[in-house]
Amino acid sequence: MSVSQRFRSIPIEPYSSGLYTSISAVTRAFFGALFGALFMLLHKGGVLLAFAADRLPLLYAAAFVAGFSERLMPEVLERFERTVSDSTKAEKGM
């Protein structure tokens, strides 16, 4: 994941290699599909958009946006991790 986030900052001349362009397209499509699936899993678990269970067009649009956005799902995961960590600390009395 970290390599894909730094993929744009690698100093290679644009369009210098067909292989580079192909790898870039494949990794973006792969991570988009992965983030869309992750969104659906989080929704099924009741973590995201629980009110959209009976609104399939809204749910599919949100999954598409999650797959299309490069920063949305990593930020959602960070926020979820922080929330879980804070609630665990509160339960332990820290």
| Span 35-91, pLDDT tens digits | 888 888 888 888 778 787 788 888 888 888 887 777 777 788 788 888 888 888 777
Residues of the domain holding 60: 2-92
pLDDT of residue 35: 85
* Domains contained in the chain, number: 1
pLDDT of residue 10: 63
Q: What is the rounded CA–CA span in Å between residue 39 and residue 48?
A: 8
Q: Is the pLDDT of residue 19 over 80?
A: no
- CB contact burial 16-26 (16+ within 10 A = b; e otherwise): eeeeeeeeeee
Q: Is the pLDDT of residue 16 over 80?
A: no
pLDDT of residue 2: 53
Q: What is the rounded CA–CA span in Å between residue 25 and residue 27?
A: 6
